[in-house]
Structure 1
Amino acid sequence: MTQRIDKALIAEQNAKLEGYVKQDYEALGNQLARQGINIDDITAKAELFQIAVPSWGTGTGGTRFARFPGIGEPRNIWEKLEDSAVINDLSQCTERVSPHFPWDKVDDFTELKGFSDELSLKWDSINSNTFQDQAGQEHSFKYGSLSNTSQESRDLAIAHNLECIEWGQALGSKTLTVWVGDGSNHPGQQHFQHAFERYLDSMKKIYAGLPKDWELHIEHKMFEPAFYSTIIQDWGSNILAAMELGPQAKSLVDLGHHAPNVNIEMIVSRLIQFKKLGGFHFNDSKYGDDDLDSGSLHPYQQFLIFNELVDAEYRNQEGFGPNYMLDQSHNVTDPIESLMNSAASVQRSYVAALLVDRPALTEYQTNNDALMASNTLKKAFTTDVSPILAMARLRKGGAIDPIATYRASGYRQAVAEKRPNSGGNGSGIV
């Protein structure tokens, strides 16, 4: 039997806090009304906000040195969906799950789709995996996949992506995300142009197999595992590849895949402008692709990114409709708690960006009033929108305090008895 959070427990926990939430909501509503903002309009938008959970994120991650398994880890996609359902039951903003193949491959995708329907979950972007060899794989990806000098290896990588599209269709997804670790670790190891040509040739074959109502999202990463050069190393190579492939190809932005101090919000603006923003992998980082909880280190940067996204929404920008997804690795926290925390953090940035006085900001920008333009953004950012987030969850049947309710449920301890630690890793990641 599928383990869930008892709705009665959610109601019981909410009853303890509902009075305080209403008081705080009323106070914030009065504050926003003085600015000409209707709090209920903002809350309605907060209720519509959704961000996908990565299937692999429900398990415990690791480092290059070791992995320390968590208790009750999901061992397969079925148990990953159970955990994802709990996250959505409590947060009410994570109804979509993004799978990774072949980690999440099953024998019967119709059965898997039925199970996700039972849990009221939908499927987000399908992620392919050609950055590691699978058991019994005939042609290796050690020296690359879609750009490998070996035609046999390239054909294998192409076939896997086309297979991912078929599986995605069975689940009801409409997006394929392709990230490859292709590149080089030594100067002179690889001819840069020839490698990129091979990559584009392979991607064109995948693009040709894309259904008409699908998008192909290209994910870039500055380094790792290729440390000297990477095929799709930044947004420049990313958008060039997307433009070469066609209108259904777009760029995906992972917040941890950039050089230090890069202006990610400006990159987002450029991609929006040229109708090439496909979506996001939200996380945070200190040194590189750390996959830390979203907003844990750079909440203002996250807000500034959403300032660009909400601006495009405000201006009804043509071709705008990106996918939002979390992409994290949890080593010292309960993955369910971290994913709920991150979902709320991203939702918080979205709501705060809705509070920006855009006519005033435009006027300050036009008049080159740098101080007041900056202060306009900071005013929205420093507004505590917690009552809006809590009210949005309450109205949708979620938990006012998701983590406290989750801990009160004893869910982790309950699933630990059903999921004994095998020493392996069902999430797929290292």
Structure 2
Amino acid sequence: MLRRIDSAIISAENSKLQSDLDTDYAALGDKLARQDIDIETLTKAAGEFQIAVPSWGTGTGGTRFARFPGTGEPRNIYEKLEDCAVINELSGCTDSVSPHFPWDKVDDFSELKQQADEYGIKWVSVNSNTFQDQPGQAVSYKYGSLSNTQAASRELAIQHNLDCIEYGKQLGAKSLTVWVGDGSNHPGQQHFQRAFERYLASMEKIYQGLPDDWEMHIEHKMFEPAFYSTIIQDWGSNILAAMQLGPKCKSLVDLGHHAPNTNIEMIVSRLIQFKKLGGFHFNDSKYGDDDLDSGSLHPYQQFLIFNELVDAEYRQQSEFNPAYMLDQSHNVTDPAESLINSAIEVQRSYVKALLVNREKLYGYQDDNDALMASLELKNAFNLDVSPILAMARLRKGAAIDPLSVYRSVGYRASMAEARPRDPNATGSGIV
């Protein structure tokens, strides 16, 4: 397998830390054994956990005002793939990439797939972009795409999504994620029902183009760029559309796309119950769609979400196979470092949720013992599972301390030389 970081370097760095890790792991194993929990079962689950990296997340994000490019940023999908390979080599839990079109479109997808195969990277859900006009575009998305009042704009957006499906088929992906910025910025600007009807009619044409073994994931967002009303503004509109379109259409939950203080874990439960949970875009939020590093602000909320996901696993609920992906904007950090750290934090939430004694929790719930039920969750959340995560990485040949290895090899500095920035390139926009 082709590697960006020499495995011998990772092994050498791991050897310096393994003795302390073995000690910490044994101590945690003894502690868990007193609770009749097998640490090896948890470590195996941690090793099997995977979350996809967004291709666009490997570059520096932008705001509505400006973008400040970082050094050594990837300039195309091949270079994005290189960074994704590094992230996986060090974290051991990001073996797949989610591409975004037309940003990641290439002339020869077989060549791109071959490159990914050599890195041991898979392709997952493909993402369409109808929220901005592309150079030379015949009609505009200024007033919407799939719900635009003009048929020509709708047809262009539909065809783009169908093209994305074809690109994804060549890469081996199995789902299409659709997010649109359609909506309105002034009261009276848009007829709510007619706009939603146009959206559903457009989505029906895309749905018909799905292969039999594919899913379509609808992403909702309450605002931006439409600040008064948005076509798919919350999970209610999302699941209504998904139910209307058919069994291959499910809802995608982005943690930053909800009103403040929304009970996201309950929404997850509802979507699981009605077999409409397609997947996640993990990030964190303070005010809105901030796209901050996962778990950086609300780690307990992230844990509570995984409590619902692990509960569905435990109950073996049908049609439960959500896709996990990071979706973040890195403005002041090295994107690779943030993605490594975020992937591990999501993995941490998953492992902590596995610590919950389901039968005890159900008993407390049935007895209406609110305090003990809450403590069952808090006890799991408060346990430091870092030795489990580190051991899982060690056994997979990844790094015990990923960020330390990343910095020691000087990857970003070497990329700064290999990927010189075009001085004439714009300083605004999204990578």
Give the TM-score taking structure 1 as reference length: 0.99
Q: List structure 1 segments (4+ residues) > 6 angstroms apart after TM superposition.
A: 425-428
Secondary structure of residue in 2 paired with 1:278: strand
Residue aligning to 2:400:
400
Q: 1:179 to 1:165 in 2, by over 3 A?
A: same
The alpha carbon displacement at 1:71 in A equals: 0.4
The amino acid that maps onto 1:429 is: I
Residue aligning to 1:131:
131
Q: 1:166 to 1:99 in 2, by over 3 A?
A: same
The amino acid that maps onto 2:165 is: I
Secondary structure of residue in 2 paired with 1:143: coil
1-side partners of 2:207 and 2:26: how far apart?
51
The amino acid that maps onto 2:430 is: I
The alpha carbon displacement at 1:65 in A equals: 1.3
The amino acid that maps onto 1:249 is: C
1-side partners of 2:343 and 2:101: how far apart?
23
2-side partners of 1:426 and 1:65: how far apart?
10
- Which runs of structure 2 are paired with 1:104-183 in the superposition (5 Å)? 104-183=104-183
**Contact 2:3–2:85 at 8 Å: present in 1 too?**
no
Residue aligning to 1:8:
8
1-side partners of 2:88 and 2:426: how far apart?
23
The amino acid that maps onto 1:380 is: A
The alpha carbon displacement at 1:422 in A equals: 1.4
The amino acid that maps onto 2:116 is: S
2-side partners of 1:226 and 1:422: how far apart?
32
1-side partners of 2:260 and 2:82: how far apart?
36
**Contact 2:52–2:96 at 8 Å: present in 1 too?**
yes
Alignment: residue pair count: 429
**Contact 2:62–2:331 at 8 Å: present in 1 too?**
yes
Matched, 1:64 2:64: yes
Matched, 1:259 2:256: no
2-side partners of 1:150 and 1:101: how far apart?
23
The alpha carbon displacement at 1:5 in A equals: 1.0
The alpha carbon displacement at 1:428 in A equals: 6.8
The alpha carbon displacement at 1:66 in A equals: 1.3
**Contact 1:56–1:428 at 8 Å: present in 2 too?**
no
The alpha carbon displacement at 1:202 in A equals: 0.1
1-side partners of 2:5 and 2:251: how far apart?
37
Matched, 1:98 2:98: yes
Residue aligning to 2:89:
89
**Contact 1:278–1:322 at 8 Å: present in 2 too?**
yes
Residue aligning to 1:77:
77
Matched, 1:269 2:269: yes
The alpha carbon displacement at 1:6 in A equals: 1.4
The alpha carbon displacement at 1:4 in A equals: 1.2
The amino acid that maps onto 1:177 is: T
1-side partners of 2:174 and 2:30: how far apart?
42
The amino acid that maps onto 1:281 is: H
The alpha carbon displacement at 1:299 in A equals: 0.1
Q: Deviations over 1:169-192 (max 9, x none)?
A: 000000000000000000000000
- Which runs of structure 2 are paired with 1:43-62 in the superposition (5 Å)? 43-62=43-62
**Contact 2:179–2:219 at 8 Å: present in 1 too?**
yes
Q: Deviations over 1:34-72 (max 9, x none)?
A: 110000011001000000000000000111111111000
The alpha carbon displacement at 1:425 in A equals: 7.1
The alpha carbon displacement at 1:414 in A equals: 0.8
**Contact 1:33–1:39 at 8 Å: present in 2 too?**
yes
**Contact 2:67–2:429 at 8 Å: present in 1 too?**
no
The alpha carbon displacement at 1:130 in A equals: 0.3
2-side partners of 1:422 and 1:304: how far apart?
44
1-side partners of 2:269 and 2:428: how far apart?
33
2-side partners of 1:8 and 1:114: how far apart?
25
2-side partners of 1:428 and 1:239: how far apart?
31
**Contact 2:67–2:427 at 8 Å: present in 1 too?**
no
1-side partners of 2:420 and 2:64: how far apart?
24
The alpha carbon displacement at 1:307 in A equals: 0.1
Secondary structure of residue in 1 paired with 2:97: strand
**Contact 1:252–1:277 at 8 Å: present in 2 too?**
yes
The alpha carbon displacement at 1:426 in A equals: 11
Q: Which stretch of the first structure deviates more once superposed, 406-415 or 290-299? A: 406-415
Residue aligning to 2:430:
429
User: Which structure 1 residue ranges, 5 or more long, are not aligned?
Assistant: none
**Contact 1:55–1:98 at 8 Å: present in 2 too?**
yes
1-side partners of 2:360 and 2:237: how far apart?
36
Residue aligning to 1:232:
232
Q: 1:197 to 1:404 in 2, by over 3 A?
A: same
Secondary structure of residue in 1 paired with 2:301: helix
2-side partners of 1:210 and 1:230: how far apart?
25
User: Which structure 2 residue ranges, 5 or more long, are not aligned?
Assistant: none
The amino acid that maps onto 1:393 is: R
Matched, 1:327 2:327: yes
1-side partners of 2:12 and 2:219: how far apart?
43
Q: Deviations over 1:238-271 (max 9, x none)?
A: 0000000000000000000000000000000000
**Contact 1:62–1:68 at 8 Å: present in 2 too?**
yes
Residue aligning to 2:364:
364
The amino acid that maps onto 1:227 is: F
Secondary structure of residue in 2 paired with 1:8: helix
2-side partners of 1:251 and 1:62: how far apart?
26
The alpha carbon displacement at 1:114 in A equals: 0.6
The alpha carbon displacement at 1:3 in A equals: 7.5
Secondary structure of residue in 2 paired with 1:253: strand
1-side partners of 2:335 and 2:53: how far apart?
11
1-side partners of 2:297 and 2:428: how far apart?
25
The amino acid that maps onto 2:63 is: T
Q: Deviations over 1:71-90 (max 9, x none)?
A: 00000000000000000000
**Contact 1:76–1:426 at 8 Å: present in 2 too?**
no
Identity %: 76
Secondary structure of residue in 2 paired with 1:5: coil
Note the aligned Cα RMSD (angstroms): 1.2
